[in-house]
Amino acid sequence: MKLQLLALFVAATAFSETASAAHYYNADHKIESKLCSISANEGFTAARKVAAQHGVYLSRYSKSILCNGDDIRDIAKKVDDEVRQEKVIEVFAKNSHVETQLCMTALKQGLAPVKEKIANLNSLKCNGEVVTEFVKRYQGATI
C-alpha cells in the first residue's frame, strides 16, 4: 500500500510540474504567430521588442493582435502575473561591516544618504557590483 501511495505521489508531482511548465509555440512562420508565442512564454514586453524589430506596433492600451481568439495583452498578462509571483527576493546584511551597512542604507533610503558618507559612489561595491547597479537590481526587494 505504501509503495502504491508513493508511486501515486511521484506521478502527481511529475504531472503538476509538467502542467505548470507549458511552453507555447507558433504553428507557422508569420510574425503575428511568433509574437503570440513570445507573449505567452516571455510576456508582453518581450513581444513588443520583437515586434518593433519587425516594424509592428503593439499597443498596451488597445487590441492589436488576436492569438487563438484572445487578445495578445490578455495572454501576456497571465505570464507577467506568474513571473511577478515567482520573483520574491529577500535582501539581508550578512555581516556588520560599514560597506555592507551602506549597501543596505542605499536599498532602504536611496543613494543620497550614502553619497553624504562617501564621495565616489562607484567605489562602493555591493555583492560585487557598483552600488548604483545594485540598487537598480534589488530596489523593492524584501529587506
Residue 60, C-alpha cell as written in the block: 498596451
In the chain, which residue ranges form alpha helices assigned H by DSSP?
A: 2-20, 31-42, 44-53, 72-86, 98-109, 112-117, 131-138
Distance CA 59, CA 7 (A): 48
For residue range 70-122, list pLDDT tens digits in order: 888 888 877 656 555 555 677 778 898 999 999 989 888 989 999 999 988 88
pLDDT of 65 = 87
Find the helix or strand (DSSP H, E) in which 71 lies: strand 70-71
Share of the chain above pLDDT 90, in %: 12
What are the CA-CA distances from residue 4 to residues 9, 63, 85, 126 (Å)? 9, 50, 34, 51
Q: Is 55 exposed, middle or buried (0-12, 13-18, 19+ CB in 10 A)?
A: exposed
